[in-house]
Amino acid sequence: MDDSKFDKLFYSISEVSEMLNVNPSLIRFWEKEFDIIKPQKNRKGNRQFTKQDIKSLKLIYFLTKDKGYTLNGAKEQIKNNRKNNEKNLLILESLKKVRQFLVEIKKDIN
């Protein structure tokens, strides 16, 4: 995920879905299931996600997609062990960046 897109106050659901590489319908579903996601709505009723909302969505994605938790399991992890899971998510994101960097270096060498 490209962190350079994190320079705005609010993001549309299409921008967030692109960042996470998921369908907007999944984001709307997670919004209903997890009370930690609270996007504001503009006059037209369009969702406006903050950086904190995106951080929460990334945590939900990590728990459900990467770690394989059920929705109830992910809710339990967020409730009881959020800080540790956020730390693990940051480590994973850092490792992915390092891997991407190494892959690019390998391409340049060959």
Q: For 27-37, how does the pLDDT look when each residue is reduced to its tens digit (9 = 90+)?
A: 999 999 999 99
Q: Is residue 67 part of a domain?
A: yes
Residues of the chain with pLDDT under 70: 1-6
Q: Identify whether the C-beta of residue 66 lies closer than 8 Å to the C-beta of residue 58.
A: no
Q: What is the CATH number of the domain that holds 27?
A: 1.10.1660.10
Identify the domain containing residue 86 by its residue range.
7-109
The answer as to whether 103 is a domain residue is: yes
What's the number of domains the chain is made of? 1
Q: What pLDDT shows up at residue 6?
A: 53
Hey, how many other C-beta atoms are within 10 angstroms of the C-beta on 46? 13
Q: How many Å apart are CA 41 and CA 81, to the nearest integer?
A: 29
- Structure confidence at residue 3 (pLDDT): 52
- Dihedral sign for Cα atoms in the order 91, 36, 53, 29: positive
